[in-house]
Amino acid sequence: MEHIIFSLNSVIPVFMVMGIGFYLGKKKILTGDFVSQATSLVFYTALPAKLFLDVSRSNFSECLDIRFTAYLLICTCVSFAVAWTLCVLLVKDRTAVSAVVHSAFRGNFVYLGLPICQSILGRESVPSTIMVVTFVLPSYNVLATIVLSYYDPLGRKVSWKKMLKDILTNPMIVAILAALPFSLMHISLPSAVDKALSYLGQLSTPMALILIGAGTRPSAFAGRGAWIMFGAVYKVVVTPLLFAVPMLWLGFNPEQMVTAFVMFAVPSAMNVYIVTKKMGGDGELGAAVITVSMLLSAVTLPAGIWWLRFMGMA
């Protein structure tokens, strides 16, 4: 029961902050120009700062499990490929495909998954989660860059050279790659630098939530409810059933099982809106999928946590 309550308490505050953003946007307190500029602030500074600190502070060499990491990466790529294939068949508006695909495979592990894993397992440090932050998060950015670049809103021909450049210069990928030497060589940042990055990292969650709320428009649901529901259901129902349940028979330990389930079952990531909008995609549609997946996860996450306990994994 305590984990069900925790899951609900993790989702409700998120909705409250998003609701504030929605109200401020509706009242024009947050203008379109502000949302655009703040999106750049989060994309180029706050999110990269948080990811850099998360990776640099981890004990990477002790946490590496190649089999577990490979499973997560393979499942992420399969999830991405299946979502893209289904979206091409179901979503008739080409400009909307990238936003739906992006929200269907990319989960909110950093802001919601980590605390849920810590709560279920009863400890602050969960080594298996470091594999997600170090390897799966960069793969999210690579795959997102591929689909968003492919569906360029200006209709320009896809340049694989440009796509590779977009991937390698993505601020979040740069931050993670830059942090790896600090983790591998156990290098501590100077106190002032660490504190400055912490300030920026702490900005990312509330600002991203407010921007998602401000960017959510009821008009985004008009005529596109089926696409939004597909993205949300695929993320919080289909992916955990496809990829977490089979782990019971593949010999993974309980900590890895919990981490993988949470990674697959958390709602669409908040920075789906940030990254999609920044790269020219339909950010408002992405925000709508995030909102619906959050609502659904208020039911699916507690149910999944109960299932883990029933199977003796948590």
Tokens 């059933």 locate to 241
- Which sequence spans correspond to the domains of the chain? 1-311
Position 195 scores a pLDDT of 95
Is residue 219 packed enough to be buried (19+ CB in 10 Å), middle (13-18) or exposed (0-12)? Answer: exposed
Q: How far apart are CA 213 and CA 35, in angstroms?
A: 10
* Token pair belonging to 108: 């909110």
On whether the CB atoms of residues 241 and 276 are closer than 8 A, the answer is no
Averaged over successive runs of 10 residues, the pLDDT of the chain (314 residues) comes to: 65 81 90 85 87 81 84 96 94 85 91 78 72 84 86 68 76 86 89 94 84 74 82 96 92 90 91 82 87 87 84 73
Domain covering 1-311 in this structure, CATH number? 1.20.1530
Whole-model pTM: value is: 0.79
Q: How far apart are CA 272 and CA 270, in angstroms?
A: 5
Position 1 scores a pLDDT of 66
Position 4 scores a pLDDT of 66
Position 161 scores a pLDDT of 78
